[in-house]
């Protein structure tokens, strides 16, 4: 009896429980997770509902029969269609939806309103009217009558994009006369069947005009590409050593494009993609001339070197600039990184400025995107924008140049990329980019307060220095556990985490090292006990930061994650080395001598290419000339006879240093450190000096 009841119960459960239906095509969010949509028959799928984002499908694979029209012809027809129908009114690109849409337009007897538009777009706005329009206007709030809330000149949702002749939407700023001209035209002319957010183009046609060069560039030719094994070798090195710091592609997106390019030798590839690929090859192919190999790891010989790949990428620059799309931003950013990896700093700075300005034209800094752009693509655009932001600061900060991207209030409204929708690269841990951006923003603020303002003739108050160090300490304390230096992280994330902490301690050194230099070179000229105490505290903070940097670099050497493809590693080692040399001048310490030997050994283990090939001999020469260690003269010094008879002396050279710039505060009648703290009413200063060191 029980057996029959159980059988009957299972049969009822099977009848009542309907199987979950899977969609034939995954939405963009589920496609990024490599899963099928579930529950899409009820509207949005289950995953998109959990993220509270719209469920969007990419109909690219279903947009046309492959045997009737080519990809190029289809894209050209879509560009032509967008000249007559706004992007907001374009239906889903299927035969059924287009047929129904055309039938609806033929049956409409009233002016057409976009089905995607809101009710406020279909009705005139009464934002400036009072509850009773017959009342006296003087009785109302002047600010309420001053400006409508939906004025298209000031709201970016109304008239902030314009369409160019290449079918791309360009951002129009609030201070542009085009917005006012568009608003006046919309009022004076009869209603147009167009998206009000898109500035109406000229009646004579779209701009810019087609040039002979752009027509000639449409011819497809073969391009030089290395063999597949070399291509995989170069890209693997790039993703492991450079892409772990700056995110450009997802692996699926990149390798699918790479396979297609190798297959057709670049005949159907865009100029931007080829420029990006050559830049990646220019970074990944940087290696010593005599690289020790084993029979299992022997790779074919490439007829082109990194300089040759840079030349191939630079040949495509005019076409990349002409396109000026999101791929152009990626191409110029990668070209800038490749130029900098090969020690062309000025060109890298210029190309990155071009990438930033193309991003401005696309509205990346204002988080402006076309409606047809999928959710995943929007996150990719945001991630690329913040990559440009971080690299822009790195390139400019080397020589103290101005950044192309400003941090002025209200200039940028783009939020961080959502890692719930789009995972970062496998070599980059979650939250890394957001932390890198916050550290760059903090460094920009500190540079402005502690370096730029004193250079303009002002003095640097000591409380600004301690406030900056306190802010940095709070930033370090708030780092998530999986990004801390002492955590157990996956091997592929080790380099990203190490680089993040190296940048942090380099920033600490940059704030406090002027005081170390003053306490060493001008020790006899400082007559105030209070200032001597302050300088010693800040010097100790600088030396401690250098010691931690050396430990991080040594651990990176042990984990085999040091890289010579970028400047970051050897630059941080050089900064720490200079601080330790000054620390030995300040007080002879066997500990610091051992750390200098450790740092020299770490640098010696790196590949002698790129920046490392040029910086390491200079560091070795400085250590030898300082005389703090009993070392043999480097080969470069012996060959060039750069050393004089007294070069190994421990006596100091005559420094030409403007001490008045760092003449921080001269308290009158104060001879104790506690009295100095009480002099400053700012509590942050007291907290910084008591608890920071």
Question: Given a cut of 90, is residue 165 above it in pLDDT?
Answer: no
Spatial CA neighbour of 281 closest among 325, 355, 341, 324: 341
Contact by Cβ (8 Å): 51, 33: no
Question: Given a cut of 60, is residue 405 above it in pLDDT?
Answer: yes
Can you tell me the distance from the alpha carbon of 96 to that of 491, in angstroms, rounded to the nearest whole number? 51
Question: Given a cut of 50, is residue 216 above it in pLDDT?
Answer: no
SS (H, E, C) 481-531: HHHCCCCCCCHHHHHHHHHHHHHHHHHHHHHHHHHHHHHHHCHHHCCCHHH
What are 580-612's pLDDT values in tens digits? Answer: 999 998 888 888 999 999 999 999 999 999 999
What's the rounded mean pLDDT across residues 620-649? 60
Q: Which residue has the higher pLDDT, 275 or 117?
A: 275
Question: Given a cut of 80, is residue 66 above it in pLDDT?
Answer: no
Q: Mean pLDDT across the chain, nearest whole number?
A: 75
What are 473-509's pLDDT values in tens digits? Answer: 999 999 999 999 888 888 999 999 999 999 999 999 9
- The pLDDT-based confidence of 521 (bands split at 50, 70, 90) is confident
Spatial CA neighbour of 426 closest among 232, 237, 256, 247: 247
- What's residue 426's pLDDT? 86
- What's residue 82's pLDDT? 65
- What's residue 559's pLDDT? 93
Percent of the chain with pLDDT over 70: 63
Q: For residue 244, what are the contacts with CB-CB under 8 A and spacing of at least 6?
A: 425, 427, 428, 492, 493, 495, 496, 499
CATH number of 21-85: 4.10.240.10
What's the rounded mean pLDDT across residues 204-231? 69
Kindly list the distances between the CA atom of residue 295 and the CA atoms of 11, 151, 300, 543, in Å, as whole numbers in the listed order: 63, 70, 12, 46
Beta partners for residue 38, in sequence order = 22
Q: Which range has highest mean pLDDT (21-35, 64-78, 535-549)? A: 535-549
Kindly list the distances between the CA atom of residue 182 and the CA atoms of 85, 175, 682, in Å, as whole numbers in the listed order: 18, 13, 51
Lowest mean pLDDT among 11-20, 65-74, 126-135: 126-135
- What's residue 505's pLDDT? 96
Take residue 345 and report the two structure tokens written for it. 């700093």
- What's residue 357's pLDDT? 96
Beta-carbon count within 10 A of 416 CB = 15
Q: Which residue has the higher pLDDT, 124 or 277?
A: 277
Q: Which range has highest mean pLDDT (153-167, 304-318, 365-379, 616-630)? A: 304-318
- What's residue 189's pLDDT? 62
- The pLDDT-based confidence of 166 (bands split at 50, 70, 90) is low
- What's residue 135's pLDDT? 45
Contact by Cβ (8 Å): 350, 314: no
Alpha carbon dihedral 44, 49, 52, 53, in 10-degree steps, equals -30
Q: Which residue has the higher pLDDT, 278 or 369?
A: 278
- What's residue 87's pLDDT? 57
Q: Domain-by-domain residue ranges, the chain?
A: 21-85, 202-288+302-428, 434-633
Contact by Cβ (8 Å): 582, 590: no
Beta partners for residue 22, in sequence order = 38
Contact by Cβ (8 Å): 448, 401: no
- What's residue 143's pLDDT? 42
What are 81-99's pLDDT values in tens digits? Answer: 766 665 555 656 666 666 7
- The pLDDT-based confidence of 42 (bands split at 50, 70, 90) is low
**DSSP label at 414?**
P
What's the rounded mean pLDDT across residues 167-171? 71
Q: Which residue has the higher pLDDT, 306 or 18?
A: 306
- The pLDDT-based confidence of 328 (bands split at 50, 70, 90) is very high
Lowest mean pLDDT among 68-72, 113-117, 155-159, 597-601: 113-117
Q: Which residue has the higher pLDDT, 204 or 62?
A: 204
- What's residue 472's pLDDT? 95
Can you tell me the distance from the alpha carbon of 1 to that of 680, in angstroms, rounded to the nearest whole number? 89
Take residue 201 and report the two structure tokens written for it. 């183009």
Q: H or E stretch including 329?
A: helix 326-341
Can you tell me the distance from the alpha carbon of 541 to that of 476, in angstroms, rounded to the nearest whole number? 15
Q: From the centroid of its chain, how far is CA 552?
A: 24
- What's residue 124's pLDDT? 32
Sequential DSSP letters for 649-667: --SPP-----GGGG-----
- What's residue 49's pLDDT? 85
- What's residue 488's pLDDT? 87
């Amino acid at each position: 009896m029980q057996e029959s009841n159980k059988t009957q119960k299972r049969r009822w459960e099977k009848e009542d429980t309907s199987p979950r239906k899977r969609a034939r095509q995954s939405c963009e969010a589920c496609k990024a997770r490599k899963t099928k949509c579930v529950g899409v028959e009820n509207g949005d799928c289950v995953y998109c509902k959990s993220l509270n984002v719209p469920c969007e499908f990419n109909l690219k694979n279903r947009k046309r029969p492959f045997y009737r029209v080519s990809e190029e012809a289809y894209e050209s027809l879509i560009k032509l269609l967008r000249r007559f129908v706004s992007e907001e009114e374009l239906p889903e690109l299927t035969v059924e939806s287009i047929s129904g849409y055309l039938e609806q337009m033929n049956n409409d007897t009233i002016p057409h309103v976009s089905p995607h538009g809101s009710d406020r777009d279909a009705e005139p706005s009464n934002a400036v009217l009072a509850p009773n329009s017959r009342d006296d206007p003087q009785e109302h709030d002047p600010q309420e009558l001053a400006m409508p809330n939906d004025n298209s000149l000031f709201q970016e949702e109304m008239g902030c994009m314009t369409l160019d002749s290449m079918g791309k939407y360009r951002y129009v700023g609030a201070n542009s006369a085009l917005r006012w001209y568009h608003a006046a035209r919309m009022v004076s002319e009869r209603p147009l069947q167009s998206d009000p957010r898109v500035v109406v183009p000229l009646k004579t046609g779209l701009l810019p005009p087609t040039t002979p060069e752009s027509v000639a560039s449409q011819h497809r030719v073969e391009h030089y590409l290395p063999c597949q094994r070399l291509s995989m070798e170069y890209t693997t090195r790039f993703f492991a050593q450079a892409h772990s710091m700056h995110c450009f592609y997802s692996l699926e997106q990149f390798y699918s494009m790479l396979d297609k390019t190798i297959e057709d030798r670049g005949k159907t590839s865009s100029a931007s993609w080829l420029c990006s690929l050559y830049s990646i090859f220019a970074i990944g192919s940087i290696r010593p001339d005599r690289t020790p190999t084993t029979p299992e790891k022997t790779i074919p010989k490439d007829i082109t070197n990194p300089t040759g790949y840079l030349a191939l990428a630079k040949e495509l620059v005019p076409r990349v600039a002409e396109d000026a799309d999101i791929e152009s931003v990626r191409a110029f950013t990668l070209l800038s990184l490749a130029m900098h990896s090969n020690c062309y700093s000025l060109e890298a700075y210029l190309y990155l400025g071009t990438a930033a300005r193309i991003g401005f034209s696309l509205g990346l800094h204002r988080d402006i995107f076309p409606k047809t752009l999928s959710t995943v693509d929007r996150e990719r655009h945001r991630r690329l924008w913040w990559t440009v932001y971080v690299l822009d600061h790195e390139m400019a900060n080397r020589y103290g140049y101005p950044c192309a991207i400003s941090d002025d209030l209200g200039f940028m409204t783009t939020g961080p990329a959502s890692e719930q929708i789009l995972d970062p690269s496998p070599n980059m841990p979650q939250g890394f980019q957001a932390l890198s951006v916050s550290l760059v923003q903090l460094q920009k603020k500190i540079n402005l307060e502690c370096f730029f303002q004193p250079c303009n003739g002002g003095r640097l108050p000591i409380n600004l220095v301690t406030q900056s160090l306190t802010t940095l300490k709070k930033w370090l304390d708030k780092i998530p556990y999986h990004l801390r230096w002492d955590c157990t992280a996956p091997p592929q994330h080790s380099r990203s985490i190490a680089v993040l902490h190296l940048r942090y301690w380099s920033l600490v050194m940059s704030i406090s090292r002027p005081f170390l230099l003053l306490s060493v070179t001008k020790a006899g000229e400082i007559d105030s006990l209070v200032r001597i105490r302050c300088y010693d505290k800040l010097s100790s903070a600088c030396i401690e930061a250098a010691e931690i940097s050396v430990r991080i670099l040594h651990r990176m050497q042990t984990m085999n994650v040091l890289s010579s493809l970028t400047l970051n590693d050897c630059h941080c080692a050089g900064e720490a080395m200079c601080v330790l040399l000054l620390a030995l001048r300040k007080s002879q310490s066997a500990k610091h001598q051992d750390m200098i030997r450790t740092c020299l050994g770490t640098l010696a283990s790196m590949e002698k290419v790129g920046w490392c090939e040029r910086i390491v001999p200079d560091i070795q020469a400085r250590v030898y000339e300082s005389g703090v260690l009993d070392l043999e003269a480097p080969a470069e010094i012996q060959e060039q006879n750069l050393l004089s008879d007294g070069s190994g002396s421990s006596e100091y050279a005559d420094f030409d240093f403007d001490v008045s710039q760092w003449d921080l505060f001269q308290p009158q009648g104060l001879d104790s450190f506690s009295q100095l703290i009480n002099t400053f009413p700012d509590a942050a200063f007291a907290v910084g000096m008591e608890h920071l060191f």
